[in-house]
Amino acid sequence: MKQFFKIMLASIAAMIVMGALFFFITFGIIGSLISSAESDKEVKIKDNSVMHIKFTEPIPDRTSDNPFENFDFGKMQPSKQLGLDKILKTIEKAKTDDRIKGIYLDLNVVNGGMATIEEIRNALEGFKSTGKWIVSYSEIYTQKGYYLASVADKIYLNPAGMMELRGLSSELMFFKNALAKLDVDMQVIRHGKFKSAVEPFMLEKMSESNRNQMQLILNTTWGSMLEKVAASRKISIEKINELADGIKIQKAIDAKNEGFVDEIMYKDELLDMFKEKLEVATYEDINFIELAKYLSASKDPLKELKEKTSEPSSNQIAVVYASGDIVSGKGEKDQMGSETISKAIREARLDSNVKAIVLRVNSPGGSAMASDVMWREVILAKKVKPVVVSMGNVAASGGYYISCAADKIVADEKTITGSIGVFGLIPNAQGFFNNKLGITFDTVKTNTHADMLTIFRPLTQEEKDIIQIGVENIYDDFITKVAEGRGMTKEQVDSIGQGRVWTGIDAKKIGLVDEIGGINKAIEIAQSLAKMEDFTLTAYPKAEKNPFNELLITLSGDMEAYFMKKQMGEGYKYFRAVERLSTQQGILARMPYEIEIH
């Protein structure tokens, strides 16, 4: 009995401690949200202001207005992360705001994909077209950072700083020999000679077909970057490549001498330049305002109240944001769940106020089954209203699968798309358990192939043939749907399919994409197809109505992710990539690799 009371009292104490911890965390979060909200209310945009833009946070396609969804546990305050949707909206607002005289690009860190950066660069070009100025300053310009900076009227660099100029490269990791040391055999079933997601498990280096497609992607992306930099800075493409080949830009003065930057200066000299430009007396008189602050400060409370209390607009364009690895069900925060996205498309289709749908796709693919579920909803929506796809950084494999039925497909120049192919991976770890750990297995089954997908024995040839037939059937279904959606023959799709990956520029040349542009271009096309003059935008999936549910999800899921990120650092993204791949079920339609440009 004494033991029982000890256990009971210990359990009660643990519950009290956990409850108190939850109370303090919850009210700490709520307090910081209230504090943040109050500080936002105090923000007023002064005349003669400069918008200060930094991209230190990752840039998703969309961030929620729900403060519980984006919370920084390290600082115990709402994250300052802005989605591309809000960044573009903010720059557009600043174009016609007489209080904003110019933009200061602070580009020490640029945390976004190339297609995302392309859309922001285009928005900045639009800002400049009004006659307003843009200046850029950094201590270090990465190649991606400089590409964005090249839109500026003036580019400045710290005297002790540097500018990267060396071209693009791609490094792939191969696991074949490591798996051999562990006595693990990765059994691969695929269709598509370019479906190179499986190559790291089969080979020690890139196949020739994979090397060719990677070279084309790098050449196209680099060529597009150089074309715009050359035009902005009046430096020939040949000269830029010559400097890159020789690594000739090693110091800040080299960048100035070759015309990549206008002046080298320290931060105090930059502030002096702003004083002169704005005609003010002291540093304190320079009115810098950050993107997030400007967005909250420039909201019109009366207009927002009117929009909330009035009837919904009868002319709406629904923007359905579909991002992340494709999985069945609802999916997690960074996944594209087939149930979640299907529901969003269905709601937009059934809403009579929605006259057109823009499906924003940012995904390397994933489950072939889940992709097909969402494709079906696109087909149904297309029957009753225009559907336009806007491709983000990546819309490949399963991401292309759900896109191919749309009336129009719009991609950025640097979007990675295509990868029309299918594969399956089944590890055979029998040797590892038998030879390395001394573990053996025995099986009882009712039918011949009841244990076909076990990792504890190799597939028989008959079983490999059965799975290969499944892969071929899914591939045939894939190219059939692409052919129907794009007005091509299956043979034409197969010739540009086979798992091959393309940039947006090359995808347009071969008919996989209709137009080059960002999400605003897609919205313009949707408006034209729906024959509307005025419209409002409505974002899907709709936000969670109960913010405390979001808080509970955040506390249970994001805290774990936060602490793992802190422990693993740069290695966390590789851990997540392996984890996502290992939890996928069924046959996959997924891009072979993840591409990052720095």
Is 85 inside a domain boundary?
Answer: yes
Is 469 inside a domain boundary?
Answer: yes
Residue range 210-258, pLDDT digits in tens? 899 899 999 999 999 999 999 999 999 999 999 999 999 999 999 999 9
Does 393 lie in the same domain as 263? no
Is 445 inside a domain boundary?
Answer: no
Checking if the pLDDT of 21 tops 90, the result is no
For residue 392, give the H/E element and its range.
strand 387-396
Is 155 inside a domain boundary?
Answer: yes
Does 549 lie in the same domain as 577? yes
CA gap 144, 129 in Å, rounded: 23
Q: Which residues of 207-243 are buried (b: 16+ CB within 10 A; e: fewer)?
A: eebbeebbeebbebbbebbbebbbebbebeeeebeeb
Please state, as a whole number, how many other Cβ atoms lie within 10 Å of the Cβ of residue 159: 14
pLDDT value, residue 74: 54
CA gap 399, 365 in Å, rounded: 5
Residue range 136-167, pLDDT digits in tens? 999 999 999 999 999 999 999 999 999 999 99
Taking the CA atoms of the chain, what radius of gyration do you get in angstroms?
27
CA gap 357, 521 in Å, rounded: 13
Q: Give residue for tokens 């770890």.
A: 429
Catalytic residue among 144, 195, 414, 508: 195
Is 481 inside a domain boundary?
Answer: yes
Does 74 lie in the same domain as 4? no
Phi-psi region of 68 (alpha: psi -120 to 50; beta: other; left: phi over 0): alpha
* Catalytic residue check, 397: yes
Does 10 lie in the same domain as 61? no
* Catalytic residue check, 464: no
Strands 335-337 and 387-396 come out as: unpaired
Checking if the pLDDT of 59 tops 60, the result is yes
For the chain, how many structural domains are there in total? 3
Is 282 inside a domain boundary?
Answer: yes
Domain end marker among 284, 299, 314: 299
64 falls in which pLDDT band (50, 70, 90)? confident
Does 376 lie in the same domain as 344? yes
Domain end marker among 241, 272, 299: 299
Does 554 lie in the same domain as 477? yes
What percent of the chain lies above the pLDDT cut of 90? 65
Catalytic residue among 397, 481, 508, 521: 397
**Which domain does 496 fall in, by range?**
302-421+460-589
Does 153 lie in the same domain as 10? no
Does 14 lie in the same domain as 113? no
Does 115 lie in the same domain as 131? yes
DSSP one-letter string for 89-130? HHHHHHHT-TTEEEEEEEEEEE-S-HHHHHHHHHHHHHHHTT
Does 334 lie in the same domain as 270? no
The answer to whether the CB of 397 falls within 8 A of the CB of 191 is no
Does 346 lie in the same domain as 465? yes
Does 585 lie in the same domain as 488? yes
Checking if the pLDDT of 545 tops 80, the result is no
For the ranges 119-133, 416-430, 534-548, the lowest mean pLDDT is seen at 534-548
The answer to whether the CB of 441 falls within 8 A of the CB of 433 is yes
Strands 422-428 and 287-290 come out as: unpaired
pTM: 0.83
Residue range 181-193, pLDDT digits in tens? 999 999 988 876 6
Residue range 66-125, pLDDT digits in tens? 655 555 555 555 566 889 999 999 999 999 999 999 999 999 989 899 999 999 999 999
Domain end marker among 240, 275, 299: 299
Structure tokens at 346: 């269905």
Checking if the pLDDT of 273 tops 80, the result is yes
Is 243 inside a domain boundary?
Answer: no
| 157: CATH | 3.90.226.10
| Of 405, 424, 423, 417, the residue nearest 480 (C-alpha) | 405
For 1, residues 6+ apart whose C-beta sits below 8 A from its C-beta are none
Is 106 inside a domain boundary?
Answer: yes
Strands 354-363 and 387-396 come out as: parallel
